[in-house]
């Protein structure tokens, strides 16, 4: 798609937040226009990277599950092993999100298990993984 979607969204932000919004009377309409413009800018930041950050998150969780499955053992270990072996059918964001949600639910279980077992090394690994994923999902506001 050309012009590229992120460029279109960036230009739409400039048009709405910098030109149309300020031309409106001060109040709800102007504030909503500015916020809507900022939303477009934030969505533009997400556009190119959306599939990439989800695929990387899912891969990082599966790698962790592969390594933690044996130590966890039992039913949890089996489910970790099974989840680690799954792959998405396509790279649509909705497909990646669905898998991501299932993996995150399992991550919560694994984290709780590590805390109960007193496995500080696994806990540390999980919180670092979560922090890296959270950092990758940040979006940034324009200077206004």
Q: Footprint of other proteins on this chain (CB under 8 A)?
A: 25, 27-32, 34-36, 38-39, 42-43, 46, 97, 100-101, 104-105, 107-108, 111-112, 115, 120-121, 123-124, 126-128, 130-131, 133-135, 137-139, 141, 143-144
Closest approach of other proteins to the CB of residue 127, in Å: 4
Residue closer to other proteins by CB (options 16, 69) is 16
Residue closer to other proteins by CB (options 30, 66) is 30
Residue closer to other proteins by CB (options 2, 116) is 116
Q: If DSSP states are collapsed to H, E and C, what string results for the chain?
A: CCCCHHHHHHHHHHHHHHHHHHHCCCCHHHHHHHHHHHHHHHHHHHHHHHHHHHHHHHHHHHHHHHHHHHHHCHHHHHHHHHHHHCCCCCCCHHHHHHHHHHHHHHHHHHHHHHHHHCCHHHHHHHHHHHHHHHHHCCCCCCCC
Closest approach of other proteins to the CB of residue 2, in Å: 25
Neighbours of 116 (CB within 10 A): 8
Closest approach of other proteins to the CB of residue 8, in Å: 18
User: How many residues are present in the chain?
Assistant: 144
Closest approach of other proteins to the CB of residue 144, in Å: 5
Residue closer to other proteins by CB (options 67, 115) is 115
Q: Distances in Å between the alpha carbon of 51 and those of 88, 91, 132?
A: 12, 7, 16
Closest approach of other proteins to the CB of residue 135, in Å: 6
Residue closer to other proteins by CB (options 3, 118) is 118
């Amino acid at each position: 798609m050309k012009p590229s979607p992120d460029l279109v969204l960036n230009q739409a932000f400039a048009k709405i937040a910098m030109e149309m919004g300020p031309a409106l009377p001060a109040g709800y309409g102007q504030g909503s226009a500015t916020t809507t413009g900022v939303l477009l800018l934030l969505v533009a930041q997400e556009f190119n990277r959306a599939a990439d950050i989800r695929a990387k998150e899912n891969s990082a969780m599966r790698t962790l599950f592969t390594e933690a499955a044996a130590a966890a053992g039992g039913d949890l270990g089996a489910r970790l092993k099974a989840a680690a072996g799954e792959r998405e059918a396509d790279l649509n964001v909705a497909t990646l999100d669905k898998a991501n949600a299932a993996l995150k639910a399992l991550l919560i279980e694994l984290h709780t298990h590590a805390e109960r077992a007193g496995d500080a090394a696994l806990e540390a690994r999980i919180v670092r993984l979560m922090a890296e994923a959270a950092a990758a999902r940040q979006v940034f506001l324009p200077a206004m």
